[in-house]
Amino acid sequence: MNGTLIASTNRGDMHPLAYQGILVTDCHHQIVNVLRSRLGDTHVLLFAEPVFDPGMDVVDWYSPVQGTPARLVDLPAAQQEQVRGALIKMAAEIRTQTQRMKDTGDSKRLVAGNIIELALNYPSDGCIYLVGEQPVLVCWGFGPATSGAKPQDLARLAPAATVREVRERPAVIEPQAPAGKPESPSITAPDEPAAESPTPPSAGSPPTP
């Protein structure tokens, strides 16, 4: 995998989120295509690309952005405030697009909108990184492993001034050689020709938004 390795995480430290049987992280390629057509590259680059190693139960998270990754919670307070403000704005813009998709009344776009909204969820603020000037989110589409614990939602990210406690991130481990990624269900942008949808790993298939 080319690009910057942001983090490596154990799948046992979090649980995957799904909508109608479709794992959110299986839809990375299709999600970023929708965001690129509707919003642009800054929103696309927010989502690190997951590469799964089934043998090690590890997820490696990559970004095409070059630079040294730094956790948001480790940055100076003033810089955290700036990045959090940018993230709140980006999440609101994504939510606006997903709501428009759901408001069409089309069942396929409804599924796609819900999947993209779930992609804004993550286990803890330790999953937010800055690479150069680009915010990058790892462990998106996952919640905490603890039973009953709710995932964080980027759309409800608190400004730095209101943060009183730094939450722990999923354990980062030594990087392993990435394995090939599984085939993803298809979510294609509405203004692009619909790609042929592969068979998803479980019931249901995400739509063409």
pLDDT in tens, 82-97: 999 999 999 999 999 9
Check whether 184 has a pLDDT greater than 80.
no
Q: What is the mean pLDDT of residues 146-174?
A: 68
Residues 6+ apart with CB under 8 A from 147: none
Selection from 64-73, 164-173, 175-184 with the highest mean pLDDT = 64-73
Measured CA angle at 66 (ends 64, 71), to 5 deg:
95
pLDDT tens profile 113-140 = 999 999 999 999 999 999 999 999 999 9
Dist. CA 9–CA 169, nearest whole Å: 9
Mean per-residue pLDDT for 84-113? 93
Mean pLDDT across the chain: 82
User: CA 126 to CA 191: how far, in whole Å?
Assistant: 35
Residue 172, pLDDT above cutoff 80? no
How far, in Å, are 1, 45, 46, 49, 55 from residue 64 at the CA level?
A: 10, 8, 11, 9, 25
User: Helix (H, G, I), strand (E, B), or coil: what is residue 6?
Assistant: strand
pLDDT at 116 (0 to 100):
96
pLDDT at 201: 44
Q: What is the mean pLDDT of residues 93-102?
A: 95
For residue 157, the model assigns a pLDDT of 85
Q: Where are the alpha helices (DSSP H) in the chain?
A: 28-38, 41-44, 77-103, 107-118
Give the percent of the chain with pLDDT over 70. Answer: 75
CB 62 within 8 A of CB 6: yes
Give the pLDDT of residue 1. 61
Q: Can you give the pLDDT at residue 158? A: 76
How far, in Å, CA of 199 to CA of 186, rounded?
9
Count CB neighbours of 126 within 10 A: 22
First to last CA, the chain: 28
| pLDDT at residue number 161 | 55
